[in-house]
Amino acid sequence: MGLTKSFMMAISSIISNKVRSLLTMLGIIIGIAAVIILVSLMNGLKARITGIFSDFGTTSLTVMIRSRATTKEVKPDEMYDFVEENPELFNYASPNISVSGELKRPDSGDDTISGSATGVSDDFNKMQNIKIAFGRFLSYADIKSKSRVAVIGSYEAVYFYDSCEYAIGQTMKINGTPYTIVGVIEESEDSEQASKDDVVYIPYTTAMQVSGTSVVSMYTVSAIDEDTVAAAKTKLEAFLAEKIGDSDYFNVTSLKSIIDQMTSMMGTMETVLVAIAGISLLVGGIGIMNIMLVSVSERTREIGIRKSLGAKHKHIMSQFVMESGVVSCIGGVLGILLGSGISILAGKLLDMNVAPSVGAIFLAFSVSVGIGVVFGFLPARKAAKLNPIDALRSD
């Protein structure tokens, strides 16, 4: 008897016992669906987190310098000179000066926003992949002359001026000091408070002047590319150690290393969750084996008749292994459809770009087929070993 005949007999047996076959498949269906759902959601979550960090530039290095009793510091010109002296590792640098307070439109009465402005250099937009929708970003002339100009996010533009385009050339007060709006950043998400569109950038020289500080405690430095981030971080730490003297007073953080750590951690979590979900596949396999053993007991006379008519050991084996494999395959296909559907729905509900993982689907289906064959082997072996005379005497 060929494989085609065995397959047709397996399908016939499954159709004649629909409810039992469905219950047999249930463990496989749930296990496969769980694996696909978990892998797809974890991939979607990793992509979302990576995307969020990537918006800030994966080549960025953030330098934090803590205050100390001595007068040791890193001045902006010193940081710029350091970057220019190492063109094989770095391309841009920017001081970061935060100015907290109230944002207000001059003619809006008491209508204010509690927020902050960040003093940055004219290269900051290149480092952070900032796209300007209207107007321009800060210029070198703005930095040099300590101009009272600002580049704002779409949230401030819409809140105060009802339009991003109309905001250009208007005046906005920061802690009572008027600034001319020269640029509006392209909207990246729904413009609301505390979102990525809720930002105000002013020249760092102006920020130092209005905040009354002459010391920069935070810098953003950009490496040439992702491959040079590690070497750039080491070089920057050596420079800071030379300038500051004590590594306890400064810290260099790499966004790429943070992303790598989070990706690794989420990969470990994904493996653990898939392993837990895989337990249901094992339970499903045991369920298949139990049902197939029951099937062998119920079809003992049929087996006896077939063997008495010349069916060989391999024919009986192939029949029951094929039936077990077909049950598992159908369960796997149903599990894939269920898991894929739930993954897409969950992605929409969670506002994430979730797509069923092709790798997870292939792996899950392969495992389901393997489980059907492995757990169907024992019942098939038992059926093949039946003595035809004893089988014919069975009731």
State the DSSP code for 12: H
- Residue-level pLDDT at 122: 94
pLDDT of residue 249: 86
Phi–psi pair at 353, nearest 5 degrees:
-85, 90
Provide the residue ranges of all domains of the chain, joining segments of one domain with +.
Answer: 3-52+261-393, 63-259
SS3 322: helix
Which residues touch 20 (CB under 8 Å, ≥6 apart)?
A: 291
Question: Tokens 């002459």 — which residue?
Answer: 214
Q: Can you give the pLDDT at residue 262?
A: 79
As averages over each run of 10 residues, the pLDDT of the chain (395 residues) reads: 64 73 81 85 81 72 76 88 94 93 80 87 90 94 96 91 91 92 86 77 95 90 90 93 85 83 81 78 77 68 64 68 79 88 87 79 80 73 63 53
Q: At 385, list the tokens.
A: 């070993």
Angle at 229 between CA 226 and CA 233, to 5 degrees: 170
DSSP 8-state code for residue 231? H
Identify the sign of the CA torsion 101, 106, 112, 117.
negative
